[in-house]
Structure 1
Amino acid sequence: MALSITLTVTSSPPSSTAHIAQRIADDMAHLHHRLGDGVSDELGISISYLVEQFALLAAAYRIPAEMEKHP
């Protein structure tokens, strides 16, 4: 089974992109919790790894937005 996730955000403020990435991370974490490690084996990729990557993406976009709020 092939899994492809494409996240394209154009001309959105960083805080919006951070919010989207965090929601994906949260949803995937919930999915992983409900389905367990078996789903990772079937997909051939670690769901917890994907959760971590989307959380990092959210943090990367959140940091510049927070810096703009607090100069």
Structure 2
Amino acid sequence: MNLSITLTVTSSPPSSTAHLAQRIADDMAQLHQRLGDGVSDELGISISYLVAQFALLAAAYRAPAEREKHQ
């Protein structure tokens, strides 16, 4: 099974990008919690790794004041 996730953000403000990436991370974390580690094995990629990557992306686009609220 091939899994492809494409996130394209062209002219969105950074806060919008941060919000979108955080929502993806949250949704994937919830999916991982519901389905467990078996889904990672079937997909061939660690869901928790993807969650961490989207959380990092969200953090990178947050404004400094917003970053402090999430730490």
TM-score with structure 1 setting the length: 0.88
Could you tell me which runs of 5 or more consecutive residues in structure 2 were left unpaired when the two chains were aligned: 66-71
SS at match of 2:51: helix
Give the match for residue 34 of structure 2.
34
CA shift for structure 1 position 20: 0.1
Identity of aligned residues (%): 89
CA shift for structure 1 position 10: 1.1
Give structure 1 regions of 4+ aligned residues with deviation exceeding 6 angstroms: none
Aligned residues: 65
The amino acid of 1:39's aligned partner reads: V
Query: 1:66 and 2:67 equivalent?
Result: no
Give the match for residue 2 of structure 1.
2
Could you tell me which runs of 5 or more consecutive residues in structure 1 were left unpaired when the two chains were aligned: none
The amino acid of 2:64's aligned partner reads: E
Higher Cα Rg, which structure: 1
The amino acid of 1:61's aligned partner reads: Y
The amino acid of 1:57's aligned partner reads: L
C-alpha root-mean-square deviation of aligned residues, in Å?
Answer: 0.9
